[in-house]
């Protein structure tokens, strides 16, 4: 480390642009894997609540597997393992189109889906069964009562854990650097290797992560407050 901190060295060309590109990749992976996680998570929760024994067991196994295996291992499994099982045509296509990013999104998204589905499930459990019975007796089918009555309430109840897990998802996108995704952590390491400005480079990345986490928490808390169901609040 040099005697003086020089943040300008980090932002100077070409590192400033690299940093910006890394930021964009981090945000892109966060958004894409969040959407994947939320849709798969909702699907899993509905499958589990459908009452079918086989579906429930499959979902339980899925959740248990993902909660007990490190995310890094999951990312490595997708990138090295599952990728190698795909037909060569798809592999070649993936190599040309930033395959590592696609596999990272798949791995992170499917991993977090297990957590989101648990959040939704605990939200579902806190809804009185009368809600479901009433909507069924009004003539709505299983899927329609889920869609129009149960799930809207569930998502509102499940806001706080969603926020926590969204923050977790955002932080864990940094693990994608292990398979060479040029996201923020990876970029910062590259810049550090070339400039030897370790402190400055890590400091900027850390500040960015802390900032986004805080923004997510604050926005999440406000949203949770706005969408909370008045009758169940304290």
Partner 1 sequence: MIEIIRDYWQVLLIGQYPQGPLGGVLLTLILAIAGLVLSFPISVVLAILRISPFAVLRIPATVVVYTVRSVPLIMLVFWTYFLVPLLVGKSVSGVTTLLCTLVVYQAAYLSEVIRAGIQALPDGQMEGARALGLSYVQTVRKVLLPQAIYNMVPSIISQFVSTIKDTSLGYVISVQELTFAANHVNSQLLTKPFEVFMILALTYFAICFCLTELAHSFEKRVAKKRLGTQPTLSGTTNDTILES
Binding site for partner 1 (CB under 8 A): 1, 64-65, 67-74, 76-77, 80-82, 84-85, 115, 118, 122, 125, 160-161, 164-165, 167-168, 171-172, 174-175, 177-178, 185, 189, 198-199, 202, 205-206, 209-210, 213-214
In the bound complex, what is the minimum distance in angstroms from residue 70's beta carbon to partner 1? 4
Question: Would you list the DSSP string of the chain?
Answer: --SS--THHHHSTTHHHHHHHHHHHHHHHHHHHHHHHHHHHHHHHHHHHT--HHHHHHHHHHHHHHHSS-HHHHHHIIIIIIHHHS-HHHHHHHHHTTHHHHHHHHHHHHHHHHHHHHHHHHHHHTS-HHHHHHHHHTT--HHHHIIIIIHHHHHHHTHHHHHHHHHHHHHHGGGGGGGT--SHHHHHHHHHHHH--HHHHHHHHHHHHHHHHHHHHHHHHHHHHHHS-GGG--
In the bound complex, what is the minimum distance in angstroms from residue 188's beta carbon to partner 1? 8
Whether the CB-CB separation of 50 and 142 falls below 8 Å is answered with yes
In the bound complex, what is the minimum distance in angstroms from residue 152's beta carbon to partner 1? 20
Nearer to partner 1, 113 or 167 (CB): 167
In the bound complex, what is the minimum distance in angstroms from residue 181's beta carbon to partner 1? 12
With a CB cutoff of 8 Å and minimum separation 6, the contacts of 38 are: 113, 116
Nearer to partner 1, 71 or 106 (CB): 71
In the bound complex, what is the minimum distance in angstroms from residue 43's beta carbon to partner 1? 20
In the bound complex, what is the minimum distance in angstroms from residue 190's beta carbon to partner 1? 12
The CA distance from 27 to 19, in Å, is: 12
Nearer to partner 1, 35 or 168 (CB): 168
Nearer to partner 1, 143 or 168 (CB): 168
Nearer to partner 1, 135 or 165 (CB): 165
Nearer to partner 1, 79 or 132 (CB): 79
Nearer to partner 1, 78 or 135 (CB): 78
Question: Token pair of 85, please?
Answer: 């099982």
In the bound complex, what is the minimum distance in angstroms from residue 142's beta carbon to partner 1? 24
């Amino acid at each position: 480390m040099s005697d003086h901190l020089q943040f300008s060295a980090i932002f100077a060309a070409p590192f400033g642009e690299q940093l910006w590109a890394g930021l964009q990749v981090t945000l892109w992976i966060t958004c894409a894997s969040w959407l994947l996680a939320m849709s798969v998570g909702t699907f899993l929760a509905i499958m589990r609540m459908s009452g079918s024994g086989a579906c429930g067991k499959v979902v339980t196994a899925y959740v248990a597997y993902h909660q007990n295996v490190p995310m890094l291992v999951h990312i490595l499994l997708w990138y090295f393992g599952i990728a190698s099982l795909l037909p060569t045509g798809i592999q070649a296509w993936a190599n040309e189109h930033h395959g590592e990013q696609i596999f990272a999104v798949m791995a992170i998204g499917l991993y977090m889906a297990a957590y989101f589905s648990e959040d939704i499930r605990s939200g579902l459990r806190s809804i009185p069964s009368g809600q479901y019975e009433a909507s069924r007796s009004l003539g709505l089918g299983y899927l329609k009562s889920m869609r129009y009555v149960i799930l809207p309430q569930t998502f509102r109840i499940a806001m706080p854990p969603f926020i926590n897990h969204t923050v977790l998802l955002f932080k864990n996108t940094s693990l994608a650097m292990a398979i060479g995704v040029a996201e923020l952590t990876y970029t910062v390491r590259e810049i550090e290797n070339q400039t030897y400005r370790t402190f400055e480079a890590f400091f900027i990345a850390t500040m960015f992560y802390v900032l986004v986490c805080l923004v997510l928490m604050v926005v999440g808390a406000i949203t949770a407050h706005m969408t909370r169901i008045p009758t169940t609040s304290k």
